[in-house]
Amino acid sequence: MKSQNIIDRRDFLSATAAAMGGVITLRAVPAASTASETPLPDGILPSDPLAHYWKKPVSCLIDVELPSELSQESVQERHRIYALLLMALVERFWNGNNNGPRGIYPFRENQKVPDQGSNPSCLRYKGDMNESNDPLRVSWDRYLGHNIACIAVDGKGEILDFDFNHNIIFRSSAEHAESRMVRRLFSLSDLIDDWKPRQPIPKDSRLVALKDVTIYTSLESCAQCSGVMSLAGVKQVVYLQNDPGAYRIGNIMYNLAGNNSDGSPLAALPIPAPAIGLPYLQDLNRKYERFRDQQVEAKNKSDADHAYFRSCREKQEKVDPVYTTSITSFLCTDTALEVFRKGAGEFRSMTLKHEEFPNREDVWTNRKCYDEACRFFEYADVEGFRGSPHKL
């Protein structure tokens, strides 16, 4: 017999669906009839954060109160600088060849190599979406990892580094952008890297080095990355798209982790893109849902013309189409690329309205942050590959 203190999965899914619109809101979900009678299990004290939510619907666990400063346009503009830089980096290093560079990708028409003749049975698709005559530029055809990336910024406004998901190249399902970033930031706390010299912290522990860090990520963080950022003491994480498979774990962790002795949260504060004035979260969410529905319909109808991928092996009489609802495959499509390309264009043409914010000596102004972001992109464009190289 199942334990009565297991939360009804329908409540969980209902609460998760309520948050898919991007704005973290509270939805009333009927609690299980036995919730009010369920005692706290051994190991959970009445003062623990989990005790506070024990008799409440799951929807309360995903409702995160954002700081009032996010309502200020000047603060939103500061966050947008880095979020749009991230979109420019994803667009720069875009590679959709997750089934190889040759075949048929019906959802990647605009990523085909041009002038391939009239044979439609087998095509080649571009890896590096930003071709250049610069001999220093490296064009990648191989699929190194998913089009998911993050950047880290310290409390002053200085960009520390960026990284991509590298699951494929390492043949691992754990090489996510945020967890890779945290590991790198700890190694950089007393090293010199190719981007700029980093000053070591002489008296404090390495954990102090990340307490003011904000991570900007293109996809909502999973349990692994949320946990790693929490252990690292990362202040907050801004994300550009929801991941249905993440189940709002970052929000749940933020609410349940509690606070440090100084009152600061133990887990990173999750901030969705709409909170900083960007529409891309809703746009990407809707387009992913449409892609998912299209794939389900195509598979049900055995419609190979609308499959995600069809191979083109020679003398192959039967083609086995690939149908997938994976969000990482969606992030290879023209539809997703168009969204990131729009954000990249907004980054390049950004007009600041609060250039001198904030008026503090220890924090960079929005103008300096934007100028630094532009310089960082120029550096990454040639030298950064899909994550900055470093000298040991």
- For residues 380 and 137, the model is more confident at 380
* pLDDT at 174 (0 to 100): 81
CA atoms within 13 A on the CB side of 376: 28
Q: Is 37 helix (H, G, I), strand (E, B) or coil?
A: helix
Residue 228's pLDDT band, with cuts at 50, 70 and 90, is very high
Q: Where are the domains of the chain?
A: 9-62, 71-283+326-384
Residues contacting residue 137 through CB under 8 Å, at least 6 positions apart: 128, 381, 382
Q: What is the mean pLDDT of residues 168-191?
A: 80
* Alpha carbon distance 163, 148 (integer Å): 9
Q: Report DSSP state, residue 60.
A: G
What does 298-335 look like in DSSP terms, one character per residue?
HHHTT-GGGSSBB---TT-SS---B----HHHHTTSHH
Beta-strand runs (E) in the chain: 102-103, 123-124, 149-153, 159-164, 214-217, 236-239, 269-272
What is 169-223 written as a DSSP string? HHT-S---HHHHHHHHHHHHTTSB-SS-B----SSS-GGGGGTT-EEEESS---H
Can you give the pLDDT at residue 5?
Answer: 37
CA 219, 175, 267, 53 dihedral sign is positive
Q: How confident is the model at residue 131 (pLDDT cuts 50, 70, 90)?
A: confident
> Which pLDDT score is estimated for 166?
84
The residue ranking higher by pLDDT, 392 or 370, is: 370
State the CATH architecture for 71-283+326-384: 3-Layer(aba) Sandwich (3.40)
Taking a C-beta distance cutoff of 8 angstroms, is the pair 165, 223 a contact?
A: no
Evaluate if residue 302 carries a pLDDT over 90: yes
Longest distance between any two alpha carbons in the chain, whole Å: 71
Task: Decide: 253 and 230 in contact? Cβ < 8 Å.
Answer: yes
pLDDT of residue 320: 83
pLDDT score of 186: 80
Q: Which two tokens stand for residue 389?
A: 């190289």
pLDDT for 391 equals 40
> What mean pLDDT do residues 271-283 have?
97
Is pLDDT of 231 > 70? yes
pLDDT interval class at 133 (50, 70, 90): confident
Question: 379 versus 138: which is more confidently predicted?
Answer: 379
pLDDT for res 189: 59
- Tell me what the mean pLDDT of segment 376-389 comes to: 83
Q: What pLDDT shows up at residue 159?
A: 93
User: 270 near 257, Cβ under 8 Å?
Assistant: no
Among 19-33, 101-115, 278-292, the minimum mean pLDDT is found in: 19-33
* pLDDT for residue 318 is more than 90: no
pTM over the 0.75 mark? yes
Which candidate, 189, 186, 182, places its Cα nearest to that of 151?
A: 182
Q: Which of 1-5, 72-76, 180-184 has the highest mean pLDDT?
A: 72-76
- Dist CA 248 CA 59 (whole Å): 10
- Distance, in Å, from the CA atom of 267 to the CA atom of 226, rounded to the nearest integer, reads 8
Cβ partners under 8 Å of residue 301, min gap 6: none
Q: In whole numbers, what is the pLDDT of the chain averaged over residues?
A: 84
Of the listed ranges 214-223, 289-298, 307-316, 341-350, the least confidently predicted one is: 307-316
User: Whole-angstrom Cα distance, residue 133 to residue 55?
Assistant: 62
Q: Is the dihedral of CA 374, 233, 388, 131 positive or negative?
A: negative
Query: Is pLDDT at 380 greater than 80 in this prediction?
Result: yes
Rounded percentage of the chain residues whose pLDDT exceeds 70: 81
Q: What is the mean pLDDT of residues 300-321?
A: 82
d(CA 324, CA 291): 9
